Amino acid sequence: MGKLDQKTAVITGGGSGIGRAISEGFAAAGASVAIFDRDEASASETVNVITAAGGKAAFFNCDVSDSTSVDEAVAGA
């Protein structure tokens, strides 16, 4: 069991760079990862890497500068 089993992690900018590394790390520790990002292609790639390794992840199109976008992403996650 991982330290984050039964937990959901919301990662903003999880499609690339530090956000991607954090997403992969949280998934490896057992969390279900909700990737909030505006770049669907890179975020989907991160989701694919996580799920191929046996983790759980989903992409949510989200612009964190727009409160409606954040509300919708949180509701979806």
- pLDDT tens digits for range 9-40: 999 999 999 999 999 999 999 999 999 999 99
- Please identify which residue in the block is written with the tokens 């999880």: 14
Q: Which pLDDT value is given to residue 2?
A: 82
Continuous H helices in the chain: 17-28, 40-52, 67-76
Domain assignment of residue 62, given as a range: 8-71
pTM of this prediction?
Answer: 0.91
Instruction: Give the pLDDT confidence of 39-62 residue by residue, as tens digits.
Output: 999 999 999 999 999 999 999 999
As a whole number of angstroms, the distance between CA 23 and CA 69 comes to 20
The reply to whether 21 falls in a domain is yes
Tell me the C-alpha to C-alpha distance, in Å, between residue 19 and each of 1, 67: 23, 20
Q: For residue 1, what pLDDT band results from cuts at 50, 70 and 90? A: low
The reply to whether 3 falls in a domain is no
Tell me the C-alpha to C-alpha distance, in Å, between residue 46 and each of 3, 34, 49: 21, 11, 5
The reply to whether 43 falls in a domain is yes
What total number of domains does the chain contain?
1
